[in-house]
Chain A
Amino acid sequence: AAGVIQSPRHLIKEKRETATLKCYPIPRHDTVYWYQQGPGQDPQFLISFYEKMQSDKGSIPDRFSAQQFSDYHSELNMSSLELGDSALYFCASSSGLPNEQFFGPGTRLTVL
C-alpha cells in the first residue's frame, strides 16, 4: 500500500539559511499534519491542513510557514534556521478528521 512520502530524507543547512520540506500524503487523504521530534523526545505537533486550509496550529515558530496545495501535497518552509531547529520532521496524513494519522519516514534536518 502507498505510504506518506517525504523529501528530502536528510538535509544539512547552515544557520540563518532556509529549508523547504515536502510531504506527499497517502492517495485520497485530505489532511496533512507536521510534527517535529527532537532527540529522545516525543513528536510535537506543528501545524495541520484540511482540504488546503489550515486546520490547527501548534508550537510552530513564526519563522516557519506551511501550506497545502491543490494536489494535497504540503510544504513546510523554514527560514532563519537556528541550531535548535535540528530535528526529525514528520508529516502524517489522514482521511477526514480526526481519523488515524499515518506517518511518513521523516526528514532529518541538521543545522550547522
Chain B
Amino acid sequence: GQQLNQSPQSMFIQEGEDVSMNCTSSSIFNTWLWYKQDPGEGPVLLIALYKAGELTSNGRLTAQFGITRKDSFLNISASIPSDVGIYFCAGHTINSGGSNYKLTFGKGTLLTVNP
C-alpha cells in the first residue's frame, strides 16, 4: 500500500523558534492533510491542501502541497509551549481499485517545546 515517509521523527526546540517537518511518498496524493494529536486524544485537523503547489496558512502554521504531488511540508513559526504534541501528515490517493476514501498517515513527528 501507499506509504508516507515523515521526518523528522522528533524535534526538541526552544520556545520562539520556527520548526519545519515534511512528508514524502513514492505515490501521487490527491489531498494532503496535517493533524496534531495530543496524548490519548483524537487527531485535530490543522490544514488541508487540495492542489499541487498550494500554500495555505492557519495562524502560525503554513503548509504546502508539493508540485510533484508526492510531498508536503508544515512549518510552525514562533513556537509556544502548547505546540507540543505529535504532528501527522495524511493523504488521500487513488488506489488501483479506484477507491480513495481512506487516509494514509505518516508515522508522526513528536514536537517538544522548551519554555
A residues adjacent to B (C-beta < 8 A): 4, 31, 33, 35, 41-45, 48, 50, 55-56, 58, 88, 90, 92, 97-98, 100-106, 108
**A56-B102 in contact (CB<8A):** yes
The answer to whether B42 has its CB under 8 Å from any CB of chain A is yes
Please list 25 pairs of residues, one from A and one from B, whose beta carbons are closer than 8 Å in the complex, sorted by A's number: A31-B101, A33-B103, A42-B106, A43-B43, A43-B103, A45-B102, A45-B104, A48-B101, A56-B101, A56-B102, A90-B42, A92-B103, A97-B100, A97-B101, A98-B101, A100-B33, A100-B48, A101-B33, A101-B103, A102-B45, A103-B35, A103-B43, A103-B45, A104-B42, A106-B40
Partner of A106, one of B41, B48, B102: B41
Q: Which of B73-115 contact A (CB under 8 A)?
A: 88, 92, 99-108
The answer to whether B11 has its CB under 8 Å from any CB of chain A is no
Q: Count chain B residues whose beta carbon lies closer than 8 angstroms to a beta carbon of A.
A: 23
User: B92 to chain A: which residues have CB within 8 Å?
Assistant: 98
**B40-A55 in contact (CB<8A):** no
User: B67 to chain A: which residues have CB within 8 Å?
Assistant: none
**A45-B42 in contact (CB<8A):** no
- Sample of 18 more A-B contacts, CB < 8 Å, known A33-B101, A101-B45: A33-B102, A33-B103, A35-B103, A42-B105, A43-B88, A45-B102, A45-B104, A55-B99, A56-B101, A90-B42, A97-B100, A100-B45, A100-B48, A102-B45, A103-B43, A103-B45, A104-B42, A106-B40
